[in-house]
Amino acid sequence: MSIDYSLYLAKERLPHLWCPGCGHGIILKNMLISMAEMEVPREKALLACGIGCSGRAGDYVNIHRFQGTHGRTLAYVTGIKMAHPELKTFCIMGDGDCSAIGIGHLIHAARRNVDVTAIVPNNLNYGMTGGQFPPLTPGESLTSTSRSGKAEPDMDLCRLAAEAGANYVARTTVYHVVEMKKRFIEATSNKGFSLVEVITPCPTYYGRYNQLGNAHEMIEWIKNKTVPLHKYEEMSVKNQEQHFWRGKLVEKHKPDLYTRYWQHERGMDHRA
């Protein structure tokens, strides 16, 4: 019998401060439900957050929590996990936090295979600071810093994490809530570095600038713009540029950093 997910929730801090129509609450709830289904003890769970809209997630949990400076959360988490490998550790970072200022830490956390589940809510812009474009904003998008369309190409954070060495990488959306929970459970059950990107609406800025309608219409837009990975790979490059793929990109089982450290650096078998 699974744990009641609401035990992980800091109910006294609700209602949350996210904008109406934001998907961050859906992502946090799915993370807590996945923890409940895995029966993670509350005192053995840590949520580390970055800066930005997603950084507020830590305010609403009743487990260990930590908020790092912009882009640096994974660096702090690496130290926390080496000192406390028994913690089931989740890290929520926004697309700007993770793919711009924090990109170096992401690459090295994946390369080191730190045992953490990194969840990246991708709302396609810097929502907290006025809708500027980060690297994950699709090309040609209108934002507060690209009023005639984003000239830069976007990047695929999932493929970058996979190339860097992550044990598990997947992408889903807030529309696909059942799939999202499944990906969170798979990622957390796989020891080592896992990354799940979740495409989520920001009707306040990205949706408004690009005339995507209200929250409901933006979720519908996300659904229609997203295709399973195997179908995406069959598309022409031009067609791929108009869509997001979703699915599981990588699943492997290399030893995580802590295990390698004790087994290879010191020749000891410790608490891993």
The torsion of the CA quartet 29, 31, 34, 38, rounded to 10 degrees, works out to -130
Assessment of whether the complete model's pTM goes beyond 0.85: yes
Q: Average pLDDT in the 147-174 region?
A: 96
DSSP 53: G
Q: Which of 256, 253, 258, 246 is nearest to 110 (CA)?
A: 256
Yes or no: say if 70 and 101 are a contact pair by the CB < 8 Å rule: yes
Of 148, 224, 200, 188, whose CA–CA distance to 37 is shortest? Answer: 188
Decide: 78 and 91 in contact? Cβ < 8 Å.
Answer: no
Side-chain half-sphere CA neighbours of 19 within 13 A: 20
Please choose, from the candidates 73, 57, 52, the residue with its C-alpha nearest in 3D space to the C-alpha of residue 205. 52
> Tens digits of per-residue pLDDT, 61-115?
999 999 988 889 999 999 999 999 999 999 999 999 999 999 999 999 999 999 9
3-state secondary structure of 88: strand
pLDDT digits (tens, 9 = 90+) for 21-72: 999 999 999 999 999 999 999 999 999 998 999 999 999 999 999 998 888 9
Peptide bond before residue 121 is cis, with ω within 30 degrees of 0: no
